[in-house]
Amino acid sequence: MSTDIATERSVAEVFDHVWEHRSTIQSRDAYAMMLLALGRENPLLACLATDMDYEDHFAKELPRQYVDLGIAEQNMVGVAAGMTVVARPVFANGMSPFAVARAYEQIKIDVAGANLPVKIVGTHAGLASGHYGPTHHSLEDIGVTRMLPNMTVVAPADAWETVQATVALAADPGPAYMRLGRLATPTLFEERTEFVLGKARVMREPGRVLFIATGPYPNLVAARAARELAEQGVSAGHLNMHTVKPLDREAILDASAHAEVIVTIEDHRAVGGLGGAVCEVIAEIAGPPVRRIGVPDIHYDLVGGEQYLLNHAGINVTNALAQALDVVA
């Protein structure tokens, strides 16, 4: 992580800093900056870590609000739940494949079932750590967390949306899961628009094709695919579904009324994630066909860089265009 994280900034100053550097700063760094700023303002906010880099800045400045549990994700979630007796909210941080999959029972019973203000933040989500192999793929996290009661599930599109989501989650009284990547990604935003949990962002007005994406690279794919279709004379809309639960049904229904096909894009298994959630909505109204782009329902036992693995799984512009044109053409 960047040494710039520890620079003392207020919440407003973090917003300004991240906005200025939104295409070059890692989302996890932006999150860490905002969490520290929020911790300064709220002495009841607690930060828990699993031997991550957060202690480098949070522990030194706010040691009474910080606990490092070591590489023990199940224990961290249980401790986070217990700490809500004296701390609210509690942010529990770890690598996504372990913070969710390894600690799922604790999240299910201790956090979601008890409806406690614990925010699980998983970095290295999706295929972000594909170079470590399938043990470090996190391709089921959206699916399993959105099935739990009371849980809010958020996948910000870039560093700017990450700091907005962090502030929103800190103010929300319930449990949540937020997934972050590893590397900096280009920004989607040219304006500092408002972020609301559970409300999709309309990046491009609805057309014959509707792209619905969540997370950094899927939204970049959707944005480019929509532009290329427009250049070909095919109108295409783009929804940034940063909150997968609660899902913005109204935005989906409004946009789908104009669409001949919906294409969902996610850095997650095509089963159970955003695509599945959208299908649940569309099935109720017998809406347009839905084509889901995600990792196939196989053991994805490849090792490689994030871009290589995304492309291999078909999470790319070429496939997005093919899925759309297969219907509208």
Where are the chain's structural domains? 3-179, 201-328
To the nearest 5 percent, what fractions of the chain are helix, strand and coil? 45, 20, 40
Q: Taking the model in full, what pTM does it have?
A: 0.96
SS3 188: coil
Inter-helix orientation angle 27-41/159-171, to 10°: 30
Which of 202, 219, 270, 276 has its CA nearest to residue 244? 276
SS3 104: helix
In tens digits, the chain (329 residues) has pLDDT values of 565 776 789 999 999 999 999 999 999 999 999 999 999 999 999 999 998 876 678 989 999 999 999 999 999 999 999 999 999 999 999 999 999 999 999 999 999 999 999 999 999 999 999 999 999 999 999 999 999 999 999 999 999 999 999 999 999 999 999 999 999 999 999 999 999 999 999 999 999 999 999 999 999 999 999 999 999 999 999 999 999 999 999 999 999 998 999 999 999 999 999 999 999 999 999 999 999 999 999 899 899 999 999 999 999 999 999 999 999 97
Give the contacts of 152 (CB within 8 A, at least 6 positions apart): 169, 172, 174, 175, 176, 177, 197, 198, 243, 245, 246
On whether the CB atoms of residues 295 and 315 are closer than 8 A, the answer is: yes
Q: Which CATH class is domain 3-179?
A: alpha beta
Helix (H) or strand (E) segment spanning residue 236:
strand 236-240
Query: Angle at Cα 216 formed by Cα 210 and Cα 218, nearest 5°?
Result: 35
Q: Which segments of 21-157 are extended strands (E)?
A: 46-49, 66-68, 90-95, 118-123, 152-154
pLDDT digits (tens, 9 = 90+) for 248-294: 999 999 999 989 999 999 999 999 999 999 999 999 999 999 999 99
- Topology agreement, domain 3-179 and domain 201-328: yes
Instruction: Determine the topology of domain 201-328 in CATH.
Output: Rossmann fold (3.40.50)
